[in-house]
Amino acid sequence: MNIRLWFLIHKWTSLVCTVFLLMLCLTGLPLIFHEEIDHTFGDEVEAPEMPAGTPAASMDQIAEAARLRHPGELIRFAFWDEKEHPHLTLLTMTETYDAPPEDDRLIVLDSRTADILDEPPPDSGFMYIMFKLHVDLFAGLPGMLFLGFMGLLFVVAIVSGVVLYSPFMRKLDFGTVRTQRSTRLQWLDLHNLLGVVTLVWALVVGLTGSINTLSQVVIGIWQQGQLAEMVAPYKDLDPPTDLGSVQRAMDTASAAVPDMDISFLAWPGTLFSSPHHYSVFMRGTTPLTSRLLQPALIDAVSGELTDTRTMPWYVQTLLLSQPLHFGDYGGLPLKVLWLVLDLITIVVLGSGLYLWIGRHQRSTARQIEEIKGGGLLEGETR
């Protein structure tokens, strides 16, 4: 493949995706520090101080407290994150299990007393707008898939840029910025240098971002595949009318997978379970394995384990891509590094757009001069 073709590939993939990548970089900046922002502006609920070693309340008590607050509504999911939100249980409730996610009611309870601490209003405000723009442009799955395609174009632009950078640097030392030449040439050198410096990070973020946009598709494949196999013995049975203990289901899952912690629990009838099962999703205890989930299906009446399996590779790939994309697995230092690299990428994208506009304007001016020189403009023939 000749250099001219690589140039055309780099030019058009960059032009198509640059505006959207700039938007993603800008909206991604506050999302890197969303936990710190929530904590600073008081949007984070904290459990009250209690003596160390205070025992946790039964999950049945917690679920009952939520039902008493909103009688007639159904609990969908329960979530825990002892590292970021110690001693808190988050429940989502809705009127029907097939209601859209945006209809969920979020309830925050004290895991030790079953007291309701907060019922945050539906998502809104600055951080919500940044999140929705970054994830799906407020367009749902079509928006997610579109942004995923822009991420793939970004990856192609990076690869083609590397191919073009090699012959460009044959006559120059690495890192050269020709400050004595024109402004446009200085920006070209800076664009190339910063692009190469952030090469690996940009590739990782671009690829993992594209993978993340497939989350709904991946989960759908898992539900139709592995989950369907796990619940197949119950397929022809009538759903139970009385559910057993939630706490017993959690205890059974913890005993069956003792080297993992509970991440979240799905009630019978939700998308992550079946009408006959509590689905208890376990996660590892190390920085890496804490991102991986393993479902344990518990019979909703008897409380017995019916199946537990490691999730398939495509789900694990999705789960591992999320921390790599957001840089939230190494604490504040890694978040600061992600911030710096994000800002550099904004400069690379902005300079690329500037260079194209400048080249286009120069080309247009040259064409006008050529036309004038030939006496072809109106008034020039006289």
Residues forming a β-bridge with 299:
277
The closest alpha carbon to 261, from 278, 279, 284, 289, belongs to 284
Q: What is the mean pLDDT of residues 325-351?
A: 87
pLDDT(373) > 50: no
pLDDT, tens digit, 9 for 90 and up, residues 190-199: 888 888 888 8
pLDDT in tens, 259-313: 999 999 999 999 899 999 999 999 988 877 888 999 999 999 999 999 999 999 9
Spell out the residues 6+ positions from residue 45 whose beta carbon is closer than 8 angstroms to its own: 85, 88, 108, 117, 118, 120
Q: Is a pLDDT exceeding 60 seen at residue 368?
A: no
**138-151 in b/e burial notation, b at 16+ Cβ within 10 A?**
eeeeebbbebbebb
Edge-to-edge strand order for the sheet containing 116-118? 116-118, 105-110, 85-94, 74-81, 261-266, 277-283, 293-299, 305-308
- Is the pLDDT confidence value at 170 over 90? no
How far, in Å, CA of 187 to CA of 330, rounded? Answer: 33
pLDDT at 382: 33
Q: Encoding tokens for residue 149? A: 């395609």
pLDDT tens digits along 4-55: 888 889 889 988 999 999 999 999 999 988 878 877 776 678 889 999 889 9
Q: Among all chains, which residue has been given the structure tokens 């490691």? A: 310
Q: What are the tens digits of pLDDT across the range 62-90?
A: 999 999 999 999 999 999 988 878 999 99
pTM of the model: 0.83
Residue-level length of the chain: 382
Confirm if 355 and 184 have CB atoms less than 8 A apart: yes
- Count of C-beta atoms within a 10 Å radius of residue 68: 9
Per-residue confidence (pLDDT) for residue 42, from 0 to 100: 62
